[in-house]
Structure formats: C-alpha cells, structure tokens
Structure 1
Amino acid sequence: MAYRVALVVPRQGPAGMFGPSCRAAAHLAVEEVDAAGGVAGRPVHLVEVDAGAPPAEVARAVAGLVGRGEVDAVAGWHLSSVRQALAPAVAGRVPYVYATAYEGGEAGDGVVCTGELPGEQVVSALRFLRREFGWRRWLVVGDDYVWPRATARDAAAVLAAEGVVLHEPVWVPLGCTDDDVWTRVVAAVGRHASGPTAPDGVLMLLVGADGVRFNRAFHAAGLDAELVRFSPFMDETMLLGAGPESTRGLFASAGWFAGLTSAAALEFSAGFGRHYERLVGVGGLATPSPGTMAESTYLGLRLLADVGHRAVPGPRDVDAARSAWAWDTPHGTVRLDAGRAHHRVHLAVATGAEFEVLADVTTGEGG
C-alpha cells in the first residue's frame, strides 16, 4: 500500500509560475525516499492539488481527500492565505508540512512549518545591507495579504532600534494584472525617490507574477538607476520572467539559491533537472535553475519521510518533530526548535537571470 501525500502547490494565480518547479522537486524527493525504503516501507504516491485556487476552495478539496481516507499527509509550497484556510481543516487528522517561508505563528495540531522566518530572512539581510552599504531607509511595496503585512510590521519593530526604517508601505491587491495599477505604484515610489528622506531602496514583498510586473515597471521608469531593491520572495523563475534588463540592483535572501556549490546543492540541481524535463519538458530550451520555492518543497517532503522512517507518521509525530528535529537539505542542516525552523540564509544579487551569492547573513560570513 502506498503512502499518499496531498501535494499542494500552485498551478494558477500569481504564484502559479512556481508550480512546475515545485512539482519537479517533489517528484525528486519521492524518487529518493522510495530508493531509501519509502515511508515506513511504503512507496510514496503524490495526489496533486492546485494551491492557486481560492484558499477556501483549496481547503475544501484537501479536507475532502482527508475525510475520504484518500491521503495520509499534506505537504507543499503555497501562500499563507491558503495555509490559514487549510490548517484548521486538517489539524489533528493527518500531518501537514507547510514548506514555505512565512510570517510565523502557526501552531495547529499536526502542522509543521519548515520555511524561513522574517528574523532570519529579512532582518538579517537588511542588517547586512546596512553594515556593508549603508542602506538604512526602505520603502515597502507588498501584496495585500497576511505574509507581507505581518513581515513588514515585525521587521520594522525589530529594526527601528537599529536605525533601519521601513516606511510608506504601498499595498497592492494580490494577483493584480492591471498594468495601470503597477504604473501608479511605481510612480508613487518615484515620488519618494528624492529629497533628504528619500529611501535607499524598495523592500519588495510581492509574490511571483506580481513581483515580475513590478520589476518590469520599475525598470521602465528608470528607477533602477536611483534605488536598489531587496526581496525575501524572489527566485530565478521570477528573474527569467522579468527579463535580465530588469534586475539591476536587485538583491534577495533565502536559504537556497541555485548558485550554491556544495556537493548536496549540485546533486539536488542535477536531480531537479532530470525530473523537470520528465514532467514539464523544455522544448529545446535549457532546463531552468531550481529556485527556492522548489527546494522548499523538496525539503518539506524529505522531513515528512524522515519523521516516518520507522513508522507511518501521525499528527503527534509531527508535533514531536516540531519541538526538536534536524535534517539535511541541499542548503545545509535545518533545525526545528519550539516550532521554528532555523536555516542558513544567504544574500544574493541578481546578475541577469541568475543570482550570485554574496554572503551567509545568518553568520555574516562571505558566501
């Protein structure tokens, strides 16, 4: 009998661009888990659910699978708005591994969050940029939902005492496709780009296609000659979507970047490439680099398998792992402690359609 996992990743909406990579990474994880004996001796079978649908719809679909006994666990990369609907629908019934950088605070029964938290991913990166380049003032542009709002609020509270200011938030409807709106957003940024209180850069808290649209409009307005940009939600897929001409002065932070060169990182990238070509095909084009969303999906499934190494894991097993657990990932060891996942987080700068890793900002060491 297979160990059935509802793989909840987006296929539509602003985050839909990450779906193919997340699926390829998930299938790589399954291949490796099965080769090592499966979950408690059972091969893994993925039941795919589109996380790009409205959150309530996603929650109903997954709750239906759980209620009918069609899945043994839930895992995947998706937005916090989906997690907030999904967690109470499955809490205490099956394990749920939420494999996304998020705002913190999730404590549902049987829910474990494996992604980076703002303190590591945003605060540490902005501290590094202040120390190395003197950039202290940031204008926030974000999607209007829980992760950007909570991240901006919490980061601002921590950084204020250190002289780093996050000010003038501009909120945009999640999934906005109106070019006129993005033109107005960029114009609002431009109005703040001069004078004694001008920002040094823009803190982008934008998802997928929203970040792509903003970067294109930002470049078209010539603002990349005046302001830098930093995002904790940016991967190589978004760089390709925006185009290499739109990435000047663009920084990002994450646990994983495809430019990491450890043996584990190179092995993951090679395996990802095989599965991407098998699942998606590339039509004669080069296989894209695996972004942080793909690697997050992979490490979430590997955690679920590690917890289920000896016996089929239930919600209590996941709760125990949430209290104290560690497992190896392509970007290094990740530790769970009192519900918080601790990662080595890197800062990178865009060079065309790729990222160059500059530093490990969790230690301050050069990368």
Structure 2
Amino acid sequence: MSDILFTSEVVIPAPREAAFSSFGTGPWAGWFFNAQFDHLRPGALVRLALPMGAARAAVEGTARVQRVIPGQRIVLLHETPWRGRVVLDFAPDDGGTRVRLVTSVEHSSLAPLARMLGADLDQVDDPDEDVVRIGLLTSYSGSAGVFGRAVENCARLAVDEINAERGVNGTPLRLVVGDDATEPSTGLRELRRMHLRHHVDMVIAVHTSATLDAVRPYARRVGLPYFYTPVNEGGRHAGRLFRWGEVPEDQLRKAVPAMMREHSSRGWYVVGNDYSWPRAVGACARRTVLAEGGRLLGERYVPLSSRDFSPVLEEIERSGAELVVNSLVGGDAAAFERQLYAAGLRQRVRSIGTLLDEATREHIGDEAAAGMWTVLGYFMDLPTEENREFLRRYRAAYGDYAPPVSSVTESVYEGIHLYARAARAAGTIEPASLLGALPGVSFDGPRGRVTVTGDGRLRQTLYLAEAVTGGFRIRGEQGLVNID
C-alpha cells in the first residue's frame, strides 16, 4: 500500500544559499523540526523534534541524511519514532527562497503513529493461524528511543534467518512490535495489546528496567516467556522471565581500577536516571570504588528524559571528581556528555558509560565522546569473521545508512536465535517444555559463543572499550562471565 504524504511550504526572506544554511539553526529551526546534527552529509544522524498537534508536546525522533544537493535539496530517511522520508527543496522566490517540505510516513508505521495520537488502527490476528508470534517490546521515542530502530532491524534479521531454515519445527516466525516510548505505563499497555490482539507466544524486550517492573506482573499472570536482553541490574530468573544482558558488577569490577590507573585519579562521581538499574549501578560503583581505594565525591539521580544537566555539572566541578560513572539512558546520556564536553570539563573528567554503545556514542558525537570507556558484550569493531559476516547481512538487508548495531540491539538477534534453538530442542513452543530445554543452549554469533547457564543467565565475553573517532577501540577482554 502507498505511503502517506504531508506537504508544507514557507518563504524565507533570504537568498537560497543562506536559506539552505539555516537548516537546523536560526529563526527557521522550528519549521525544520528543530533539526540538530554534527555533519550534513549522507549517513549522518539528525535529531528531530516532531510536532504532534497543539495539545501534545513534540516527540524526539531521529533520521539519517540520505542525500544533499548543496543549496537545493536535503533528503532524510526517518528512523524513529516511525519510518518515512523527509524531502526539503529550496527554490528562489522574488529575492527570497521558497522551501517545500514533503514528509512521507510508511504504511507500516501508520498504526503505531495512530496509537501515539490516541487513535486505533490495529488489526486483530487470527489465533488459529499456524505461526509463532514473537512479541518485540522496545522504545522508539523518549530517552531509550535511540535504540529502537536498530533493535527492530536485528530482530527482523533473526526472524528472516530462522524462517529461511523452515522456521521453528516447520512453523514460520512472525514479529509483532510494540513501542513503550520509554514510559512504563505505555509499555504495559503495549504488552497487553500484543498479547490480547496478536496472541504473541513469547516476548523479547529491550527497554528500561522501569518498564520491566511495570510489565512483569502481567507477563507472569498470563504465562508469557519474557526474554529481557539489554544491560540490567541482575538477579536470577523468576518463572518465565530471563535477564540476559550485562550486569554492573561484571562491567565495573575491572574497569574501575583500570581507569584509576590510566588517569592517575581516585575521585569519582556517579550520575544516572532515577530507577532500579542506574541505582544498582550506583551501589556497585560505591562498593567497587571504595574497595579499590578510591573516593566517591558525589552521586545524583535524575528523571528519565532529563536534558538540562547544568546543576550536575556544577556539582562535579565543585567536588573535584575526575572520574564519572554514567548510567544515564540513551538520549539522557548523550545530553549529559555533550554538555560536559561543551563546559570544557572533558579535559580533566573522564567517564565510563555502563550503557555507552554505538548508538549513544553517535548521539554524543565523535569529539564529545572521545576518551569515554565502556564494558559491553558486543561492538561493531570486534575483529571476527562472524561479526563481519553479520554486519554484511545487516547492511544488505537495511542499507549502508542503517542505524548502527550495538550490544543493546544485537542482543535481540541472538535472543531470538536462542529461543528458536530451545524450541527445536524441545520439539515444541509450549512454554514449560521450551524453557526446560533452554539451559545449555548455545549460539555462535556476532559476539562469539553465548550459552544459557543452569540458572537462566547468559555466559558471554565482555570487552573493555574506549570511544574513538567513528567507533570504539577494544582495550581488552573482561573474560567469560558465568553466573552459575
């Protein structure tokens, strides 16, 4: 079916070259969706503030530059919170410049967009159709929205690969997507929709632990297997809930002393969002810093979707801290680190980001992120044949300008493959039998071999890495993480 088009025009009282250069700045920035970018070139990230009507606040979104004809045309590929295309044409008009904007929304994004606006275009699936329905709950807007599109891409890539091998026990997989918008109540509503209307057989999720706390009682009550794959605060699996991402202790136990040696510093500051995972990171940081002979000089937790970090930066400067543990999420982490850099503090303050992945690094920018550290289980820069082949397939499926893959987003790819292997081992997707077959299941993928342990966690290798221009430099392995 056809995409939906929206058009608008404005006359800017300036010559065409000047009007073109005003994209993203000056008095016309609002008409250009308040676009922000570091470079206007093909493949570059553009951050947008998308109007949602007079009664609703603007929604943060992202796009990629597809084409630039200097002075004449800008074409953006819209990534989040919906898929589409934005075309800006600049033409002379009586001494000024007429700018025509054409925005398209892909048909597949109409139902999610309608839900954001309070309408309902959702279809109800036939529960008797012979298909395995994989529910994907993630974020396309809000602080965690920086991950959403790549999460869906990686999930679809896994589904396509499994279906190419006759699915699960001869039954094809189908992906059903839900957007929590980094809001726990929205996440619960989306989970109910996927379960009641689309009859999902399991859920794989990349969202905040705040959303996990909101959806867990419902998932447990209805018996849904729930695979939560990003970084998290840890804890053994309960019932049909599995947490497979990196945990604070494994991230910080070697990175903290290594940073103290590298930078000859002992004073630390902890900043994070105010919910369970960042506070778990903070508690682990306190223990680790003190055990290594360091000093904790300050600690602050802020609400999700915070964007003004000037009070936090003032505290850091007053405290004399030279090392920071950053457990802010996505857009919040990017805003904090960009402001820290703009304030001139990066010269003496170094950060370790427990959720600093390729997407967050890109939003921070090359210069502002340079020198930050992180510990995760996957990086695009891993020099293995398996990873190179995975990235080749990813770009073949979604294009050279697809959003970057990261540990957060790649985790759903391996999570769906692990689910399929357990279902094949059990010979069924019946939850009790499938989950009983899960311990010991392995998958050799982009991050190497991952194995589900006896207590339902994931054994994987973690890597210490430093942000550099264009990506990450792997500084070393943290060793195999095994929480048996």
Q: TM-score normalized by structure 1?
A: 0.88
Shift of 1:39: 1.6
Letter of the structure 1 residue corresponding to residue 475 of structure 2: L
Shift of 1:200: 3.3
Q: Name the structure 2 match of 1:157.
A: 287
**How many Å separate the matches in 2 of 1:246 and 1:19?**
23
**How many Å separate the matches in 2 of 1:7 and 1:149?**
26
Alignment partner of 1:189 is 2:316: yes
CA shift digits 1:252-308 (9 cap, x unpaired): 11000110011111111112223333xxxx7xxx44431222211211111111111
Alignment partner of 1:255 is 2:377: yes
8 Å contact kept, 2:269–2:299? yes
Shift of the 16–217 alpha-carbon distance from structure 1 to 2, 3 Å rule, reads same
Q: Which consecutive residues of structure 1, in runs of 5 or more, have no partner in the other structure? A: 194-198
**How many Å separate the matches in 1 of 2:421 and 2:267?**
42
CA shift digits 1:79-121 (9 cap, x unpaired): 1111112222112612111111100125332111121122222
**How many Å separate the matches in 2 of 1:273 and 1:166?**
43
Q: Name the structure 2 match of 1:295.
A: 410
**How many Å separate the matches in 1 of 2:265 and 2:438?**
36
Shift of 1:132: 5.1
CA shift digits 1:147-206 (9 cap, x unpaired): 0001211343355333244441111111113xxx3122112111122xxxxx33111001
Letter of the structure 2 residue corresponding to residue 185 of structure 1: V
Deviates more, 1:136-145 or 1:1-10: 136-145
Shift of 1:61: 2.7
Q: Which consecutive residues of structure 2, in runs of 5 or more, have no partner in the other structure? A: 1-129
Letter of the structure 2 residue corresponding to residue 147 of structure 1: W
Q: Name the structure 2 match of 1:331.
A: 447
Alignment partner of 1:320 is 2:320: no
DSSP 3-state at the match of 2:199: coil
**How many Å separate the matches in 1 of 2:132 and 2:211?**
24
8 Å contact kept, 2:326–2:352? yes
**How many Å separate the matches in 1 of 2:278 and 2:351?**
15
8 Å contact kept, 1:128–1:361? no
**How many Å separate the matches in 1 of 2:247 and 2:433?**
23
Higher helix share goes to which structure? 1
CA shift digits 1:332-366 (9 cap, x unpaired): 112332133222111111112311111112279xx
**How many Å separate the matches in 1 of 2:283 and 2:182?**
27
Shift of the 43–242 alpha-carbon distance from structure 1 to 2, 3 Å rule, reads same
Q: Name the structure 2 match of 1:15.
A: 144
**How many Å separate the matches in 2 of 1:134 and 1:302?**
43
**How many Å separate the matches in 2 of 1:363 and 1:30?**
27
Q: Name the structure 2 match of 1:269.
A: 391
Q: Name the structure 2 match of 1:360.
A: 477
Shift of the 218–93 alpha-carbon distance from structure 1 to 2, 3 Å rule, reads same
Shift of the 155–324 alpha-carbon distance from structure 1 to 2, 3 Å rule, reads farther
CA shift digits 1:127-158 (9 cap, x unpaired): 43345555443210111111000121134335
Alignment partner of 1:33 is 2:149: no
Q: TM-score normalized by structure 2?
A: 0.68
Shift of 1:250: 0.9
Deviates more, 1:63-72 or 1:202-211: 63-72
Shift of the 304–132 alpha-carbon distance from structure 1 to 2, 3 Å rule, reads same
Question: Which structure has the bigger radius of gyration?
Answer: 2
Deviates more, 1:321-330 or 1:208-217: 321-330
Deviates more, 1:257-266 or 1:238-247: 238-247
8 Å contact kept, 2:439–2:456? yes
8 Å contact kept, 2:463–2:474? yes
8 Å contact kept, 1:322–1:340? no
**How many Å separate the matches in 1 of 2:171 and 2:480?**
39
Shift of 1:8: 0.8
* Identical columns (%): 30
**How many Å separate the matches in 2 of 1:128 and 1:238?**
22
Q: Name the structure 2 match of 1:196.
A: none
How do residues 106-117 of structure 1 correspond to structure 2 at under 5 angstroms?
107-117=237-247
Shift of the 363–27 alpha-carbon distance from structure 1 to 2, 3 Å rule, reads closer
Q: Name the structure 1 match of 2:300.
A: 170
Letter of the structure 1 residue corresponding to residue 275 of structure 2: Y
Residue in structure 1 matching 2:468, options 343, 351, 354: 351
Residue in structure 2 matching 1:59, options 185, 188, 195: 188
RCO higher in 1 or 2 (8 Å CA, sep ≥ 6)?
1
**How many Å separate the matches in 2 of 1:6 and 1:37?**
19
**How many Å separate the matches in 2 of 1:250 and 1:307?**
38
Shift of the 318–163 alpha-carbon distance from structure 1 to 2, 3 Å rule, reads farther
Q: Name the structure 1 match of 2:359.
A: 237
Shift of 1:17: 1.3
Residue in structure 2 matching 1:96, options 226, 237, 243: 226
Letter of the structure 1 residue corresponding to residue 420 of structure 2: A
Q: Name the structure 2 match of 1:226.
A: 348
Alignment partner of 1:81 is 2:210: yes
**How many Å separate the matches in 2 of 1:21 and 1:305?**
21
Deviates more, 1:256-265 or 1:299-308: 299-308
**How many Å separate the matches in 2 of 1:219 and 1:248?**
10
Alignment partner of 1:120 is 2:236: no
DSSP 3-state at the match of 1:345: strand
Residue in structure 2 matching 1:207, options 325, 329, 336: 329
CA shift digits 1:41-91 (9 cap, x unpaired): 211101100022521332233134324562111112111111112222112
Count of matched residue pairs: 349
8 Å contact kept, 1:206–1:233? yes
